[in-house]
Structure 1
Amino acid sequence: MGRFLREWREANGFTLAAAAKLVDLSASALQRIEAGQTQKVRKQDVRALCDVYGVGSSETAAAIDLATIARMQGWYRAYGGLYSDAFNMYVGLEAAARRLITYHEHVPGLLQTSDYARAVIGAYPGFVSSSDIDRRVEYRMKRQAIITRKTNPVALEVLLHESALHRVIGSRRTMEAQLRHLAEVSKLPNVILRIHPYSAGLAWGMRHGSFTILEFDTTTTADGPVEPPIVFIEGGPAQDVYLEKRDDVRLYSEFASAIRSAALEDQPTRELVRRVTKEFEHDQH
């Protein structure tokens, strides 16, 4: 919503101060709205801004809908302080997305078992308290509701590098259970799991990290959706990155397509996952 309002303001040649004055807001308040840094967005302010910018009725209604969503207290806010504001914002966007396309070289959080998640989270030197780790694992498990909920579950496509099946996280028993879970969750009608095998080499001839493309189900205008897709790149030890520009999103969409075209189809993916699962099972006997 903030991006939508900012683009309309700039298209009409208004400065932040000028637009804010016309609707009885402070420039700092309008800046926070445009940056997505506040939930306290009044519908009447959004309507007034749309009137000033000459926004059509259907797009104004869509913007007001987004303002309503922005005021909702997401469940993830109960876990405030566990992660950065940037990542907490990602979780909110993830919950609102219609479709997620993600590439990883480890099992992504939405498909992790609790033991796998605990091993990943517990390995980070900054997380030392067992209760702190427990809350983070709980937080991650709650995120997974978006793919199993009965109403409008998110469409999830996971492009997973084959190395994720062999890299031991936690223990071999943990890996066996995790891979069994992968095989089962891949049967959900809204989930696609495709393994990018070692034999496929490097997509576009380059090494790259994990990324997620988030697509939203909002009103579409002649110029595209009110809430366009974005790319999220988790920074790990560094800062998380959001890419919003159309060319950047297009580039990552084409990159995902290249990885997809070299990945195994659904059934061969499931067979590979089950084969590696049996190797972990055999090693324990």
Structure 2
Amino acid sequence: MSTNDSATTGERKSKARSKQPAKPTAEVGSTVPRRQLGRHLRELRQQTGMSIAEVAKLIERGATTLQRLEAGTADRIRLWDIEALCRVLGADETTTDALKGLAQQGNTESWWHEYGDLIPKDFDVYIGLESAASKLTSFQELVPGLFQTPGYAETLIRAVFPEEPSSEITRRVEMRMHRQRLITRKGRPAAVDVILDESVLRRMVGSPRIMADQLRHLADLSTKPNITVRVLPYVAGVPLGDLTGPFTIVDFAPDAKGKHEPSVVYVENFTGAMYLEGLGSVSRYRAAHETIGRVALGAQPSRDLLRRAAREYERER
């Protein structure tokens, strides 16, 4: 979800923030690239209908090696293994380059992913993380991608990709709408607890009609039992004494053995995204969200404000 998604969660490649986070030096080596690599490999394999043993045989590696790659627990990742897997699994060129890029960044410290560095710009790394989430906790300064209406999403995407044809813009909008099934599906939808800065309601995106539709949509979504939407009003000031910028904490459900993947904080800025999984970093962002939440409006007052703002935009149409 945006921090995920001001312009997209991962698609925002050219909007600059005045501050760019420094690359951390004190965190433990990040497992995020390896876990993301594993998710994509597993998804590709499942699409072919082949078992781990069958694929491992085709690339002349042991099943245990492939199992560790898919689980994101491989200590050593060989690029030729990734190339062989992509060939066998029918990955396209963009996906192959992206997975090789993830493999090369599999042992870095808390991971700073610069758009278009080792991984192609058109490959959204965050989506894999989001799709595996059981809960997303965030603070946002634009409507998150998971909550966007087609009109709102199209306006932002066109601003990010002004040279692309309408067919490609339509494809990107459809992809974003597809992502929203994560929180609207009937079976075990992900939980979302988002706090929106009041500027989200006041900043015009597109037109008054688009804004009215978007704010009504937010209010309607907030009635679902798995979704909490609150607004941080201007009168609350700066509850932390400093600006955090948008962020999303991603939590995961336990696997079949009851083990949890480490939670990840996703912080997107103008040129890339930071993935933090150190316990200290995650705890600080959780505390920040709790502090902001204490001065944000409650769920019902926030819903009322969203609907009131939507009516105001409708009068401007």
TM-score when normalising by structure 2: 0.64
Number of the residue aligned with 1:263: 296
Number of the residue aligned with 2:274: 241
Contact 2:32 2:275 in 1 (8 A): no
In structure 2, how many angstroms separate the alpha carbons of the residues matched to 1:190 and 1:283? 33
How is 1:188-267 mapped onto 2 (pairs within 5 angstroms)?
A: 188-219=224-255, 225-235=259-269, 237-267=270-300
Number of the residue aligned with 2:173: 137
Letter of the structure 1 residue corresponding to residue 199 of structure 2:
S
How is 1:74-223 mapped onto 2 (pairs within 5 angstroms)?
A: 85=119, 88-125=124-161, 127-219=163-255
In structure 2, how many angstroms separate the alpha carbons of the residues matched to 1:185 and 1:32? 30
In structure 2, how many angstroms separate the alpha carbons of the residues matched to 1:37 and 1:238? 21
Q: Over aligned residues, Cα RMSD in angstroms?
A: 3.6
Once the two structures are overlaid, the 10-residue window that deviates more, 123-132 or 96-105, is 123-132
How far the C-alpha of 1:127 sits from its partner, in A, is: 4.6
Change (3 A) 1:229 1:109: same
Letter of the structure 1 residue corresponding to residue 37 of structure 2:
Q
In structure 2, how many angstroms separate the alpha carbons of the residues matched to 1:48 and 1:145? 33
1:148-191 deviation digits (Å, cap 9, x = unpaired)? 11111000111101110011100001101111111111111110
How is 1:10-89 mapped onto 2 (pairs within 5 angstroms)?
A: 34=34, 36-37=36-37, 39-40=40-41, 66=71, 85=119, 88-89=124-125
Higher relative contact order (CA closer than 8 Å, sequence separation 6+): 2
SS of structure 2 residue aligned to 1:204: coil
Identical pairs, percent: 38
In structure 2, how many angstroms separate the alpha carbons of the residues matched to 1:35 and 1:151? 24
**Greater helix percent: which structure?**
1
In structure 1, how many angstroms separate the alpha carbons of the residues matched to 2:32 and 2:139? 31
SS of structure 2 residue aligned to 1:37: helix
Change (3 A) 1:122 1:64: closer
Change (3 A) 1:256 1:228: same
How far the C-alpha of 1:46 sits from its partner, in A, is: 9.5
How many residues align? The count is: 233
SS of structure 2 residue aligned to 1:205: coil
SS of structure 2 residue aligned to 1:164: helix
Change (3 A) 1:113 1:40: closer
**Gaps spanning 5+ residues in structure 2: where?**
1-30, 43-51, 73-84, 86-91, 99-114
**Gaps spanning 5+ residues in structure 1: where?**
1-30, 50-59, 72-76
Change (3 A) 1:33 1:247: closer
How far the C-alpha of 1:210 sits from its partner, in A, is: 1.1
How far the C-alpha of 1:88 sits from its partner, in A, is: 2.4
Q: Which structure has the greater CA radius of gyration?
A: 1
Number of the residue aligned with 1:18: none
Contact 2:37 2:70 in 1 (8 A): no
